[in-house]
Amino acid sequence: MVTHPLVRAITLTGSTETGLRVMRMAGLKKLQLELGGKAPAIVLEDADLRDAAKKIVTGSLRLSGQRCDAISRVIVMDGVADELINYIVKETSEWTVGDPRDPKVRVGPLIDSNVVERVHSMVDDALVKGGKLIYGGKYWLTYHEPTVIDNVSRKSRLALEETFGPVIPIIS
């Protein structure tokens, strides 16, 4: 379809690798590519921290974080980081993991066990690089519980790659 002469424009949401392949094949056609966004929530000193925490948690955990527009890192000013983290942990604790057919469950399974392993490897990488596990971190079968990590290194995979899982990395 990308190379078909009647197709004048192409839009794609996907991985950088796929986007590059489509771009090479498209030639001079119009392109709109959304490739591996890393949507930050930026929290400054004058923010309503309770409200920010609710929006961060919802933006990070809805649909188990498996969205292109999920908040996948929190950048917060040092002076309010501890208070924000307390609100985030309180809010995160209300997000139950399990079978999404149960009305009390707010975080369901990830797409498959390979994705769970990839998400958890990103958590492990952040911890090895100095991150501090504040909440969660457990995983089983196709589930990864909501996880909050503080002191995330800007060189960690959690800071650089799209997570597609229920993880809230915090960078002060």
What pLDDT, in 10s, does the model give residues 132-157? Answer: 999 999 999 999 999 999 999 999 99
Q: Which amino acid is at 50?
A: R
For residues 124 and 161, membership in a common domain is answered with yes
For residues 103 and 151, membership in a common domain is answered with yes
For the annotated catalytic residues, the residue numbers are: 34, 68
| Range(s) of the domain holding residue 56 | 40-171
Question: In this structure, what CATH number is given to the domain that contains residue 165?
Answer: 3.40.309.10
For residues 31 and 45, membership in a common domain is answered with no
User: Total domain count for the chain?
Assistant: 2
For residues 56 and 103, membership in a common domain is answered with yes
Dump pLDDT digits (tens) for 40-58: 999 999 999 999 999 999 9
For residues 25 and 65, membership in a common domain is answered with no
Angle (CA) 92 81 134, round 5° = 45
Taking each helix axis from N to C terminus, what angle separates 49-61 and 78-92, rounded to the nearest 10 degrees? 60
For residues 51 and 121, membership in a common domain is answered with yes
pLDDT at 69 over 90: no
Residues in contact with 6: Cβ distance below 8 Å, sequence separation at least 6, in sequence order: none
For residues 128 and 148, membership in a common domain is answered with yes
Which residue, 165, 113, 141, 140, is CA-closest to 149?
165
pLDDT grade for 65, boundaries at 50, 70 and 90: very high
For residues 24 and 67, membership in a common domain is answered with no
For residues 48 and 70, membership in a common domain is answered with yes
For residues 2 and 72, membership in a common domain is answered with no
For residues 153 and 129, membership in a common domain is answered with yes
Least confident among 68-72, 79-83, 145-149, 151-155: 68-72
For residues 121 and 49, membership in a common domain is answered with yes
pLDDT for the residue 123: 98
